[in-house]
Amino acid sequence: MKLPTDLMLGRPLEETQERSLPEFVKDLRERMDRVHEFARGKLKMQSDKMKQRLDTTSTETAFEPGDAVWLYAPKMMKGRSPKLQRNWEGPYTIIKKINDLVYRIQLSPRSKPKVVHLEKLARYIGHDPPDWFVVEDPPDWD
């Protein structure tokens, strides 16, 4: 029976053919290199597909210090349907942008700040955004 690997890599030489040890090692190394190159190509192709799929679903949202946001923090409460539970907390205020994906947020002036990923944040659109955080402008020395 011919397996897919036999079709791709070829069948091993018959045992009736005699080969020296260096020839066998050279042939084995070449076949292993071809198999590894094939596997690397497949892994690269799958990685590219996954990146493309992620890029199509992700949103490029950026927040600035002082922006009001919701935090996605689902809590499983016993005896309640997950559909009826509140999954979003807030509104929080962006305190600092650590990098493009990570932000420091705070619920109130006395609460402990949290460091969260961008994917757990959503822009707050409401009537009463928190106003306790003031972004200070650098002094004008001119």
Burial code (b: 16+ CB inside 10 Å, e: under 16) for 22-59 equals eeeeeeeeeeeeeeeeeeeeeeeeeeeeeeeeeeeeee
Tell me the domain boundaries of the chain. 19-57, 68-123
Beta bridge partners of 93: 68, 106
Alpha-carbon distance of 57 to 41, in angstroms, equals 25
Say if residues 122 and 64 touch (Cβ distance below 8 Å).
Answer: no
CATH 1.20.1250 is the classification of domain 68-123: no
Q: What is the pLDDT of residue 139?
A: 54
Alpha-carbon distance of 38 to 25, in angstroms, equals 20
Q: Which tokens is 134 given?
A: 């003031």
At 71-104, the pLDDT tens digits run: 999 888 888 888 888 899 989 999 999 998 899 9
At 15-64, the pLDDT tens digits run: 546 778 888 889 889 999 999 999 999 999 999 999 888 878 776 678 99
The whole model's pTM is what? 0.56
Beta bridge partners of 69: 92, 123
At 112-126, the pLDDT tens digits run: 999 999 989 999 998
